[in-house]
Amino acid sequence: MAARPDGELDRDQLIAGLRRWRTRSGHLAEEKTRLLDENASWRAIAGAHEKRAATLEGRVVELEAELAAANEKIATLSKLCFGTKSEKRRTTTPPTGEEAGTSADDQRSEPASAGGERRRRGQQPGSPGHGRRDYADLETEEVVHDLSADERVCPICGAAYEPFGEEPSTQIDWQVRIVRIVHRRRRYRRACRCAGKGVVCAPAPGKAIAKGLLSTQFLARLLHEKYVLGRPLERICATLMAEGLDISKGTLTGALAAVSGLLAPLDAAIRDRNAKAAHLHIDETSWRVFEDLEGKANHRWWLWVFVAPETVVFHIDPTRSAKVLEDHLGVDISSGTLEAGRRLLISADFYTAYQSIAGVDGVETLWCFAHIRRYFVRAADAHKGLRSWCNAWLERFAALYRAHHGLRAGSPGSPERCAAEERFALALSEIDVVRQKEAADERLHLAARKVLSTLDHEWEGLARHASYPDADLDNNVSERHLRGPVVGRKNYYGSGAIWAAMLSARVWTITGTAKRAGCNPLAYLTAYLAACAEAGGRAPSGRALRRFFPWCAMSADLSSWRGPGP
């Protein structure tokens, strides 16, 4: 910028320079604004990435949890499919001292052999045998074997041998006979001129099914084969064909449908008796009924079992809801009321239907220790690092079972009973203390914490066993009663119609109650159907029906139905 002679800047030049600086300042301001906008944009992008990263981290945590849950399920299902079918512990030395009173798992384990090793199955070396069985009660057929006339004389002098006793031996034969019984009813006509009937005829034989082809013994064996032994009708027909009887599956199905109504009164009486019991073991399993039901989207129904000291009831229902319990037990869960003056004790697992009935006044629930034990086993199967932790808990449960076994074995008031009560209280207290201590340990594995959370949630129903020392610690009684129907489910997949499902429940109810009374189910069914035949093809009633109630004093006839089990 040029200066004037007097040293002062030219005014125009100053203005021009000022304009240039203003222009440059504007450019710088625009650049600053642009940079600030760009910075804000980058910050927004960074914030979005941070938010996405946080979301992805949360998703990773969720997926890891899902993967852990899937691994647990895979481990559990793999063990069910490919693992051992029992949780029995196989020790190499026999228990001594207090260990002689073992848990439900231990007390059924096999005795050790003298050499310290045990076989996987069969009788163990050194264990006492059952001795020879006596088969004198079986129907006997004698066959005499003799020598020929030439063999009964001396080969030298020809003198006859004298009789000198016998050499007896026994065989058991298995004979299956299909017999066609022809009933010939004699008729007579009057040969005189007296008033009265002109023709008389012998009465017709009684039949359980009017005009039916099959005898009462055949019907009883058909029910026994299908529902007690779990054989599908196709195999029954094949067996009959092998014995010479060509009969269709439809004929057998029609006979079963006709028999269902005959069993209804006995079934209803058993259900009524069962519903009034003071203590019930309850469980349920899925059951297929292949008949479309309005409002039901699938064919999955549920088979319920109610086990009382004297009776067993099976019920097949479209739902698994608590309404089944309300209908059978006469309980109103919504109002929380039970029949006035009645007390009910229920042994079950932790299913929500049983949880809901636990809040009813007069109802006490005992949760199953075997179920909570399985949670620990499954956690250890899915996470090998929890094996020692699981074994410690299994030993605590075993100690509880041993104490409970000794408690039930001792007579009330005896020193042995008092000592067992102390051991039981101590074992239960140890479980309570350890569960609270481990639940507060934040370093514990997540899977272990989940199991302990379940134990804590159900502890009230588990600890209630201390108030009922004579009750089972588990619900295995009902699970064992479901075993037969589950075998049948594997063989014939369920029921083809609703009436068939109801018949299944009726037969299992009747035969289960008969077995609980020590009766042979086949003999029991045969006797009942014979009573139906005597009643003219109708179900017996009154005194004739009460004689089939195992809990009645007049059921002395049960002795004629006892015998070898199925």
Neighbours of 437 (CB within 10 A): 10
Confidence band for 452, pLDDT divided at 50, 70 and 90: very high
Beta bridge partners of 317: 302
Q: For helices 446-457 and 369-382, give the axis angle rounded to 10 degrees.
A: 170
pLDDT score recorded for residue 423? 94
pLDDT for 391 beyond 80: yes
Minimal CA–CA distance to 312: which of 256, 228, 253, 405? 228
pLDDT for 322 beyond 50: yes
pLDDT for 377 beyond 50: yes
Q: Which of 95-109, 209-223, 316-330 has the lowest mean pLDDT?
A: 95-109
Average pLDDT for 116-122: 70
Beta bridge partners of 286: 302
Beta bridge partners of 562: 519
CA dist., res. 254 & res. 433, Å (int): 61
Minimal CA–CA distance to 402: which of 428, 436, 380, 376? 428
pLDDT score recorded for residue 8? 58
Mind listing the pLDDT tens digit for each residue in 424-440?
Answer: 999 999 999 999 999 99
pLDDT for 130 beyond 90: no
Residue recorded with tokens 């009831």: 313
The H or E element containing residue 253 is helix 249-275
pLDDT for 13 beyond 90: no
Mind listing the pLDDT tens digit for each residue in 168-218?
Answer: 888 888 888 899 999 999 999 988 988 888 899 999 899 999 889 999 999
Q: What percent of the chain has pLDDT over 70?
A: 90
Confidence band for 110, pLDDT divided at 50, 70 and 90: very low
Q: Which of 89-98, 139-148, 323-332 has the lowest mean pLDDT?
A: 89-98
Q: How far is C-alpha 270 from the chain's CA centre?
A: 20
Characterize the bridge pairing of strands 344-348 and 279-288: parallel
Average pLDDT for 109-134: 66
Is residue 284 helix, strand or coil?
strand
Which residues have C-beta within 8 Å of that of residue 495, sequence separation ≥ 6? Answer: 287, 288, 289, 290, 316, 501, 504
Average pLDDT for 212-240: 95
pLDDT score recorded for residue 109? 41
Minimal CA–CA distance to 330: which of 271, 242, 414? 271
Mind listing the pLDDT tens digit for each residue in 499-534?
Answer: 999 999 999 999 999 999 989 999 999 999 999 999
pLDDT score recorded for residue 247? 94
pLDDT for 103 beyond 60: no
pLDDT score recorded for residue 32? 87
Confidence band for 492, pLDDT divided at 50, 70 and 90: confident
Neighbours of 501 (CB within 10 A): 23
Mean pLDDT of the chain: 87
